Amino acid sequence: MSLFRLISWPYFRRHVLRTLLTTAGIVLGVAVFVGMHAANQSVLFAFSRTVDRIAGKTELQVTAAETGFPEEVLDKVQTAGSVRVAVPVIEAVVDTNLKGQGSLLVLGIDMTGDRSLRDYDLESGDDAVVDDPLVFLAQPDSIIVSNEFAGRNRLSVGQRLTLGTVEGEKPFTIRGVMKASGLTSAFGGNLAIMDVYAAQKMFGRGRSFDRIDLAVKPGRSIGEAQRELTALVGPGFQIDPPSGRGQQFEAMLTAYSMGVNISSAFALFIGMFIIYNSFSIAVIQRRSEIGILRALGATRRQIRWLFLGESAVTGLIGSIGGVAFGVLIAHAIAASIGTLIADVYGVAQRTDEIARTPGLLAIAVAIGVTTSMVAAAIPAMNAARVDPVQALQKGKYQVLSAGESRLRAILALVLGLVSVVCLTTAGSRPVFYVGYFLAIVVALLLSPLLALTLARALRPMLKWVRPVEGALAADSLIQSPRRTSASVAALMLSLALVVAFAGMARASYDSIIDWMNATLNPDLFVLPSPNIVVRTIRFPPAMAGQLAAIPGIRRVQMVRDARVVFRRTPVMVVAVEMKSVAETVTRMPVEGDPDEMYRRAAAAEGLIVSDNLAELQHLRVGDTLEVPAPNGVLRLPLVGIVVDYSDQQGTILMDRSLFVRYWNDDTVNIFRVYVTPGAHVSDVRQRILETFAGQRQVFVLTNGELKAYILKITDQWFGLTSVQIAVAVLVAILGIVNTLTVSITDRRRELGVLQAVGGLHAQIRRTIWIEALSIGVLGLALGYALGAVNLYYILQIVHHDIAGLRLDYEFPVATVVALIPAILGAAFVAAIWPAESAVRGSLVEALEYE
C-alpha cells in the first residue's frame, strides 16, 4: 500500500493524460459490453414484462405457436379436471394513427371469466362497463385503454379512437380508462382491452383464438395440469407458463445475441490492448525507478503486485466510468434493437426502461478489472524481472531482442499449425472455436514482428515523401516496436472485426438479392399491414377470387406464413399453392431433384425446407419430418432443400392445403399478384386499392418496393456494423494518442536537439503526424489481413452455429476502402494535440532532460 502511495500515485499525477487514456480503453470496452448487453437484456426484459403483466394470475398458457386454433379447443381445456379457469385471448398490434404513439397492443379477452385472471379497475368511466360484461360485449366498438395511453393522448371516456383493422380503419369508443397497475404498464402503457369475439371480427381471426390463459385448481400442480392438457389437446400445442413465451422470444433472438456477444468480446479485447500498451510503456519508462526500488530491497513479488494493483485500480475506475457510459448508450441501442425486432421478427416491442440488473453491472466491473489486470500481467512480470544494475543504465531497451522475436515466431508457427489442424479436422464445434482463438493469438504474437517489418518497408517511402520528417517518424516506429505494436494490435483487432461484419453483411446482401430475384418475381404484393412481417392481421381466402377478377391480373397466389414450433425451436412455415408457385418460380434446390421436389410438394406428399433449417437441424432429403399442428402431427418426407431467407431459424415450405388441413386456418398473409402482359403495374395497383377501398385494409407493394423493404430490414440487421466502425475509429484515436504521447515524452531530448539545430516547428509537427499516419497504415494493413481470416471464421460460425446460412466468402472491398480515410483521418486527429505539445515544450527543459 505504501509503495502504491509513494510510487504509483505520483506517477499517475505526473501523467494525468496518459492515465486518462489508459482508463479510456477500459471505459470503452466496458461501455460497449454494458451498452449492448443492457440494451439486449432490456428488450428481452420488456418483452417478458409485457407477457407477465398481461398474464396477470395466469399460470399456464395454451398456444399453437403464433398460428392460433379453433374455439373448440377452449371447450376441451375448460373441461380439464385440473383447470380452475381458462379464458381465450387474442392479441393484435395495431396502428393508432396518433402522432408519435406508434402501435397499440389490443388484448381481446372474454370479460365473463377474465376478471378471475386480470384486474380491470377503472380510473374513469362507468364501472358497470367492466363489471358488467353485458354492456361491454353488446357494443363491439367498446375499448378500454390504459391511463398512461389516455394521459399521453389526452383521451377520455366517450371519445373515439381510430384503429387499423382488417376491415380498414374503424372508430372505437373508449368506455373506460384503466387505473395504473401492472397490466396497464405492459407494452409501455400502449395497451387496450376489447371483447375477444369483437377482436376476432376486427382482426380477421374467424372463429379462432390466439391463446388460452388458465389458472390451475387449488391443490393441483402446474406440472399435473400440463400433463393433463397435453394429453387432452395433443402435441400441436404448447402448454407453458407465461415465462415460456419469453424463452421463445429469446430463442428467436439467438443470432442477434450472438452478434452482441462477439462485439462485446472484441471491445473488451481491444480495451485490453490499450491497457497492455500503456503498462508496457509505463514499465519501460519507470525502469530506473524500478531499479532503485529493487536496489533498496523491494522484492520481485512487490514490484509485480505494484503494477497489478495499479492496473486493478485503473480497471475499477475505468469500469465504473464504462458502466455509466454504457447505460447511457444502451438507450439508443435498445431503441434500435426494438425497431429491428419489430421489423425483422414482427414482434412489436417498446423498451422504455433500461435494465440495470446488478448482476450485469457487477459482471461488467469484474470483467473490466480482470481485463485490466490480465492486460497488465505481462508488463508487471517484465517489471518484476528488471535487473537493478541494467535498469539504471541507458539503452535501447525497447528493441525486440532477436531471441524474443524468434520465440514469438516459433510460438506463432506452432499455434498457427494447431489452428489449421483444428480448422481442417473440426469434427466438434469446441475444436473449431479453439482454432479460431488460436488464429487470433497467432496474429497478436506476430503483430510486433509484422509491425516492425512493415515499418521498415515503409521507411523508404516515408523518406521519399518527406526526407527528414519521414525518416525520423519511421525510425521512431522501428526503434520502439513495443510502443507501436500494442496500438497497432488494438487497431488490427478492431478492423478485423469490422471487416468480418462488413463481409458477412456483403455476403448476406448478395445472397438475399439472389434469393429475392429468384423467388420474389410477382409484380405486386397485397398485404394487410404496411409491415410485411406483421401477421396478426390477415385476409380471408375469398379475396383471391376478388383479386383475380380485377382486369389486368393474370395470376394470384395465396401465401400464409406463420411461426410454429419445430423440434422445440420457433421456425417459419410458409404455405403456398405449390403447383402455381412451381410454374412461376424456379428454385434450384441445394439438395433434391427440382421437378420431383415441386411435384411431391404440390401433391402434399412432401415438405421442402430452407438450407439453414437443414443445417441447424441436421436434415437430409428423405428424412421424415414431424411438425406438430393443432389438428395432429404432420408427418411427411423431406423432398427438397432450397435457399430461403424467410426466417433466421429456418423455413418449412408446404402446400397450402396441408396448412389448411393441419392448422385449420385458411387465412392469407400475402397475395402474390402477376399482372397480364401489357397491363401497367401502377394501373392494376390502383384498381386493387379501389376495389377494396372502405372494405378492407389493403396495402399494395410493387416488386421493387418489396425488395427495397427487405433490403431496408437487412440494413437494420447489420446496423451493428456501424457500432463496430465507431469503436474501431475510437480505438484508433485512443491508441494513437497514447502511443504518440509516450513517443513525444521519450523523444523530448531528440526533439529538443532537433529544434536546437534549427528544426522548424512545422517539421516537428509533420514528423508526429507522419508517425501517427504510419501507425494507422500499419493497423489498416494488419487489420485487413486478420479481417480476411476473421471473415472466414465468422461465416463458418454463421453457417454452423447461428443461422445455418451458407454465405459466400466475399471480401468487403467497399468498406475496406471507405475505412482508409476514416482511420487515417482519426490518426491525424489523434496526432494534433501530441504534435502541438511537442513544439510547445521548453527547449531548455528538453535538453536538461538528459
Partner 1 sequence: MSRRMGRAGRVGRAGRIVLLAMALAIHAHSALAQNARQIVEEAQKRTDAKSQRYEGLLQVFDAKGKISDKRWSFERLGSHGNSKAVLRFTAPAEVKGVALLVVNHPDRASDQWMWTPAIERDRRIALQDRSTRFFGTDFSFEDLEERDVDQFDYTLAGDDAVDGSACWRIESRPKESKSSQYTKSVVWIRKDDYAFARFENYVKDQVVRRLNYSDIENVQGIWTARQMEMADLRRGSRTRLTLDKLAYNVPFKDEDFTLQAIRRP
**Mapping DSSP to helix (H, G, I), strand (E, B) and coil, where does residue 317 land?**
helix
229 with 777: CB under 8 angstroms? Answer: no
The residue among 83 and 272 lying less far from partner 1, judged by its C-beta, is 83
Q: What strands lie across the sheet with 524-527, from one edge to the other?
A: 624-629, 632-642, 607-610, 651-655, 569-576, 553-566, 670-675, 524-527, 699-702
The residue among 215 and 275 lying less far from partner 1, judged by its C-beta, is 215
The residue among 139 and 716 lying less far from partner 1, judged by its C-beta, is 139
Cβ neighbours of residue 829 under 8 Å, at least 6 residues apart? 733
The residue among 6 and 134 lying less far from partner 1, judged by its C-beta, is 134
Provide, rounded to whole angstroms, the least separation between the CB of residue 140 and partner 1: 5
Provide, rounded to whole angstroms, the least separation between the CB of residue 78 and partner 1: 5
Check residue 517 and report its DSSP letter. Answer: H
Provide, rounded to whole angstroms, the least separation between the CB of residue 161 and partner 1: 18
Residue with cell 484508433: 732
Provide, rounded to whole angstroms, the least separation between the CB of residue 127 and partner 1: 7
Provide, rounded to whole angstroms, the least separation between the CB of residue 130 and partner 1: 8
> Beta-carbon neighbour count of residue 747 at 10 Å?
23
Binding site for partner 1 (CB under 8 A): 74-75, 78, 83-87, 110, 112-113, 115-116, 127-128, 131-135, 137-140, 197-198, 201
Terminal Cα-to-Cα distance of the chain (whole angstroms) = 31
Distance, CA of 145 to CA of 107 (rounded, Å): 10
Provide, rounded to whole angstroms, the least separation between the CB of residue 700 and partner 1: 29
DSSP string, 575-621: EE-HHHHHHH--PPPSBS-HHHHHHHHHTTS-EEEEHHHHHHHT--T
Reduced to 3 DSSP states, what percent helix, strand and coil does the chain have, rounded to the nearest 5? 60, 15, 25
The residue among 113 and 719 lying less far from partner 1, judged by its C-beta, is 113
Please classify residue 684 by burial: count the beta carbons closer than 10 Å to its beta carbon, then call 0-12 exposed, 13-18 middle and 19+ buried.
buried
Provide, rounded to whole angstroms, the least separation between the CB of residue 126 and partner 1: 8
Provide, rounded to whole angstroms, the least separation between the CB of residue 577 and partner 1: 30
The residue among 135 and 710 lying less far from partner 1, judged by its C-beta, is 135
Distance, CA of 11 to CA of 29 (rounded, Å): 24
Distance, CA of 349 to CA of 337 (rounded, Å): 9
The residue among 86 and 827 lying less far from partner 1, judged by its C-beta, is 86
The residue among 167 and 623 lying less far from partner 1, judged by its C-beta, is 167
Beta bridge partners, 553, equal 675
Distance, CA of 649 to CA of 804 (rounded, Å): 8
Helix 300-345 × helix 703-717 angle, to 10°: 160
The residue among 68 and 188 lying less far from partner 1, judged by its C-beta, is 68
Provide, rounded to whole angstroms, the least separation between the CB of residue 239 and partner 1: 17
- Phi and psi angles of residue 721, each rounded to the nearest 5 degrees, phi first: -60, -35
C-alpha cell at 175: 368506455
C-alpha cell at 298: 523491494
Provide, rounded to whole angstroms, the least separation between the CB of residue 500 and partner 1: 55
Nearest to 62, CA basis, from 195, 205, 230: 230
Nearest to 737, CA basis, from 24, 1, 5, 159: 24
User: CA–CA distance from 707 to each of 70, 512, 514, 680, 702 (Å)?
Assistant: 35, 10, 11, 19, 9
- Phi and psi angles of residue 146, each rounded to the nearest 5 degrees, phi first: -75, 155
Provide, rounded to whole angstroms, the least separation between the CB of residue 270 and partner 1: 59
The residue among 85 and 422 lying less far from partner 1, judged by its C-beta, is 85
**Mapping DSSP to helix (H, G, I), strand (E, B) and coil, where does residue 308 land?**
helix
The residue among 137 and 292 lying less far from partner 1, judged by its C-beta, is 137
Distance, CA of 546 to CA of 553 (rounded, Å): 11
Provide, rounded to whole angstroms, the least separation between the CB of residue 115 and partner 1: 6
Provide, rounded to whole angstroms, the least separation between the CB of residue 197 and partner 1: 6
Please classify residue 114 by burial: count the beta carbons closer than 10 Å to its beta carbon, then call 0-12 exposed, 13-18 middle and 19+ buried.
buried
Residue with cell 424467410: 646
397 with 284: CB under 8 angstroms? Answer: yes
The residue among 12 and 209 lying less far from partner 1, judged by its C-beta, is 209
The residue among 71 and 623 lying less far from partner 1, judged by its C-beta, is 71
**Mapping DSSP to helix (H, G, I), strand (E, B) and coil, where does residue 224 land?**
helix
Distance, CA of 436 to CA of 221 (rounded, Å): 47
User: Which strand (E) or helix (H) includes residue 470?
Assistant: helix 467-479
Provide, rounded to whole angstroms, the least separation between the CB of residue 660 and partner 1: 22
The residue among 71 and 591 lying less far from partner 1, judged by its C-beta, is 71
764 with 839: CB under 8 angstroms? Answer: yes
**Mapping DSSP to helix (H, G, I), strand (E, B) and coil, where does residue 564 land?**
strand
Provide, rounded to whole angstroms, the least separation between the CB of residue 212 and partner 1: 11
The residue among 138 and 366 lying less far from partner 1, judged by its C-beta, is 138
The residue among 72 and 848 lying less far from partner 1, judged by its C-beta, is 72
Provide, rounded to whole angstroms, the least separation between the CB of residue 138 and partner 1: 5
Provide, rounded to whole angstroms, the least separation between the CB of residue 198 and partner 1: 6
The residue among 112 and 631 lying less far from partner 1, judged by its C-beta, is 112
Check residue 539 and report its DSSP letter. Answer: B
